[in-house]
Amino acid sequence: MGFFTGCARLLLITFNFIFWLSGAAILGVGIWILVDPNMKDYMDVIKDASNDDEFLKTAAYILIGFGAFVFLVGFSGCCGAIRSSKCLLAFYIFFLLVVFAGELAAGIYVAVFKNDINSKLNQGLAESIKKNYKDKLTTAWDSVQVELKCCGGNSYKDYENSTWANETGSVIPDSCCTQNATGQPENLEGCKKLLGGTYYEKGCKDALENWINSHSAILIGVGCGIAALEIIGLICAICFCRNIDREKYSSN
């Protein structure tokens, strides 16, 4: 029995080392989403168009919280394995279940809100431009259009009869004009009135949806990967606890 107990202990310690690394991965993904330089501008536009909370940021905060919690879970597992303590292992199993439930909830949250927001972007982006481009979202929309190489929500025509167009007399903003090798638009004045120069004819809706889907897939993928590891950890911990009982029974 000592051989099997030793193997179970080694497996549990090895798993917890991998689990610690996964905690660092969770933290890294969550922080990356929050510090992505385009994150704020993209989410400002999406939030204004969909009237929904910043679900990606919320999910990222959840990942960061659970990533930090994973270090505590791993510590309990290692101590329980080294000391053959059923009490510590019981805490470890409980913590694993808590992390698993939290990641499952975060995954469901992202999937539900992703589909809901995508369904609202078609009309919402055009309304966002017509009402808010001149005011609070000018910088955000300019950043989205330059980075994603697009113009407007569904197309550049979303700027027609907008508050900004009526006040400036331009048809499209500078950020819709294509840039040359130096990063400057060619024939800017002509481009803004569609009288010369080139501009982005496609809208930003598809590009924003792709951005949402790619970031959501990363969050869900990381959560599923860690959940699979946690199932292995649960099995190792339960087997180790059973071997402890058998070893004690055999020694008596």
DSSP of 208-227: HHHHHHHHHHHHHHHHHHHH
Would you call 151 helix, strand, or coil by DSSP? coil
Cα dist. 235→20, 73, 102, 149, 241 in Å? 17, 15, 19, 49, 10
Using the predicted structure, report yes or no on whether residue 1 has a pLDDT greater than 50: no
What is the phi/psi pair of residue 97, to 5°? -65, -40
Quote the tokens at residue 183.
């990063």
b/e string for 213-247 if b means 16 or more Cβ within 10 A?
A: eebbeebbebbeebeebbeebbebbebbbebbeeb
Closest CA to 80 of 179, 13, 6: 13
Strand partners, 202: 155
pTM of the shown model: 0.69
126 vs 13 pLDDT, higher one: 126
Model pLDDT, residue 246? 60
H-helix or E-strand containing 104?
Answer: helix 86-132
C-alpha to C-alpha distance for 205 and 121, rounded to whole angstroms: 7
Which residue's entry shows tokens 């130096």?
Answer: 182
Question: Tokens 């980075």 identify what position?
Answer: 147
pLDDT in tens, 41-53: 887 888 788 776 5
Question: By C-alpha distance, which of 103, 114, 81 is closest to 22?
Answer: 103
Q: Over range 159-166, report the average pLDDT.
A: 88
Segment 220-247, tens digit of pLDDT: 777 777 777 778 777 777 777 776 656 5
Contact of 87 with 103, CB cutoff 8 Å: no
Find, among 192, 187, 191, 183, the residue nearest to 146 by Cα: 183
What pLDDT, in 10s, does the model give residues 64-89? 777 777 777 777 777 777 777 777 77
Tell me phi and psi for residue 36, to 5 degrees.
Answer: -55, 120
